[in-house]
Copies of this chain bind each other. A is one copy, B any other.
């Protein structure tokens, strides 16, 4: 059986080397390179075309983890990224998941969990620990501030705007004047501090209003 080839990307040398030593214990895993940022990572990836995955830190100089995830995704790379981060905020986790991370581990994870994750990911499956998934889902369903920001009518109008209806069409559908809808729209834009409808829709989706 050929070992799982991987690269460790982290700007902290001690952590990088420690992880490397730690993984030597496992015969089915082979670390082919240790790199300190995203740029060097992609250089190494060109040399080693058979790398299966990357253990990826988020906070790195030059080219950070998020950029690496994005680049891998855009290049349609077969390399599977496992994020190893010290941040356990839903924000970070959701972004990584969205950008193609196969797993998200905290730096205080024990090695059993790490090797388990590596093996699962090597089978092409994504694996997020229930506690990590919980944090992400909590973040996704957050609506705290936005909860009572908009009135019910405003929420309704916002939904129709996002559907691509024009002011006139919305007015017709809600049996009110176009003026009313225009005012609603203006108020919604003001409340979400957007410049125009485009930004409004973006902000609204960000805080789960749509």
Once the chains bind, are A98 and B141 in contact (CB under 8 Å)?
yes
Is there a chain B Cβ closer than 8 Å to A149's Cβ?
Answer: no
A132 to B, closest residue via Cβ: B133
Question: C-beta contact mask, A93-108 vs B, less than 8 Å → 1, else 0?
Answer: 0100111110000000
Is there a chain B Cβ closer than 8 Å to A39's Cβ?
Answer: no
Once the chains bind, are B126 and A137 in contact (CB under 8 Å)?
yes
Partner pick for A208 among B76, B98, B137, B200, CB 8 A cutoff: B98
Q: How many copies does the complex hold?
A: 2
User: In which size bucket is the chain A interface?
Assistant: 35 or more
| Assembly CA distance A202 to B210 (angstroms) | 9
Residues of B close to A195: CB separation below 8 A: 164-165
| Assembly CA distance A71 to B159 (angstroms) | 15
Residues of B close to A199: CB separation below 8 A: 162-164
On A, residues with C-beta under 8 Å from B are 73-74, 76, 94, 97-101, 125-130, 133-134, 137-138, 140-141, 143, 147, 161-166, 194-202, 205, 208, 210
Once the chains bind, are B164 and A196 in contact (CB under 8 Å)?
yes
State how many angstroms separate the Cβ of A109 from the closest Cβ of chain B: 15
Once the chains bind, are B166 and A196 in contact (CB under 8 Å)?
yes
Partner pick for A138 among B126, B143, B162, CB 8 A cutoff: B126
Once the chains bind, are A162 and B98 in contact (CB under 8 Å)?
no
Residues of B close to A76: CB separation below 8 A: 147
State how many angstroms separate the Cβ of A4 from the closest Cβ of chain B: 19
What would be 12 A-B contacts, judged by CB atoms less than 8 Å apart?
A: A98-B140, A98-B208, A126-B137, A127-B134, A128-B130, A128-B133, A163-B199, A163-B202, A166-B196, A201-B202, A201-B205, A202-B210
Q: Which 9 A-B pairs have the closest CB atoms?
A: A164-B199, A164-B195, A133-B133, A201-B201, A162-B202, A205-B205, A97-B137, A126-B134, A100-B141
Residues of B close to A194: CB separation below 8 A: 164
